[in-house]
A = this chain, B = another copy of it.
Amino acid sequence: MDRFHLMSVYIAVAEERGFASAARRLGMSPPAVTRAIAALEQRLGVRLLNRTTRHVRTTEAGHRYLEDARRVLDEVDAVDQAVSGINAEPRGHLAITAPVMFGRMFVMPGIVEYLERYPATEISALLLDRDVNLLAEGIDVGVRIGELADSSMRALKVGSVRQVVCASPGYLRRHGKPERPRDLSAHTLINSSAVSDVPNWIFNTAQGMRNQRIQPRLVVTSNAAAVEAALADFGLTRLLSYQVAPQLADGKLQIVLEEFEPEPRPIHIVHREGRFASPTVRSFIDFIAARLRADSLLN
């Protein structure tokens, strides 16, 4: 008794509102349809269709089951296709979204490499700092920084970013090194409104999360500008770790208040699951996930 087949028969009957027409549509005999529905109803222990000899209508349970069965069959089809196409050359169009700066630094190089490797693919890259709804906007893959809301979207963690407060050695020599968050009030602060508009820097203390109100002397709208200002010995700024990774590596900027640093924020790749995951989408996710995971700046 093929459960899969029973489902398709049921869908046909429910949609056609008739056993005979369903039989015609499926190219099977009316008795076979009758038996299939009977078997299904017996399996489930529920009457799915109210049928007179002249009319067929779904019951409440049948209505539910119709939706469920459609979803399941769609998913099975998608799964079959996905695995069938796994060895095929990726092709077709992908829509990808990522945060602006992170996207420029880490996702775009991956996209370019992917496009070069698979000539039959095209990609739309939407670099936006607002979270777009993947389903509503028809986007295949998103890169997200921060804890995820309720997404039963498939999500792969590919790294994490730290929020670091840093300054140039020159500045620190002249003004001293802050040892506690409250020391910040005696310092010159640079706030990048691209990171956060709110005049608070969050720290992790022994007493838990601490929301340190700050009074920035300089507010800039781009992270690059904040980096520049810090390099010019102007003051302390708070940025995401990857944004200052080169400067930290060669010692042009130094991290302070590291022991008060908040929990690192995870980086996830999210995508619509199951029926939406075409082989090409999957191949791209595998590709970009491997690339990001291998990036030492993100771990």
Residues of B with C-beta under 8 A to A65:
79, 83
Q: From DSSP, what is the main secondary structure of chain A's interface residues?
A: helix
Contact A72 B83 (CB under 8 A): no
A112 within 8 A of B: no
Please list the residues of chain A having a beta carbon within 8 angstroms of any beta carbon in chain B. Answer: 1-5, 43-46, 48, 60-61, 64-65, 68-69, 71-72, 75-76, 79-80, 82-84, 86-87, 131-135, 142, 147-153, 197-198, 270, 272-274, 282
Query: Closest B-chain residue to A67, C-beta based?
Result: B79
CA distance A121 to B83 in the complex (A): 42
Q: Name the residue in A68, A71, A134, A152 with the highest tally of chain B Cβ atoms < 10 Å from its Cβ.
A: A152
- Given A68-B83, A133-B147, A135-B150, 19 new contacts (CB under 8 A): A2-B5, A4-B4, A44-B80, A44-B84, A46-B83, A61-B83, A61-B86, A61-B87, A64-B82, A64-B83, A64-B282, A69-B79, A71-B75, A72-B72, A132-B150, A150-B151, A151-B153, A197-B198, A198-B198
Q: A3-B76, A61-B86, A79-B69 are in contact. Are A272 and B152 (CB under 8 A)?
A: yes
Residues of B with C-beta under 8 A to A152:
134-135, 151-153, 272-273
Q: Name the residue in A44, A46, A69, A83 with the highest tally of chain B Cβ atoms < 10 Å from its Cβ.
A: A83
CA distance A134 to B150 in the complex (A): 6
Residues of B with C-beta under 8 A to A44:
80, 83-84
Residues of B with C-beta under 8 A to A272:
152
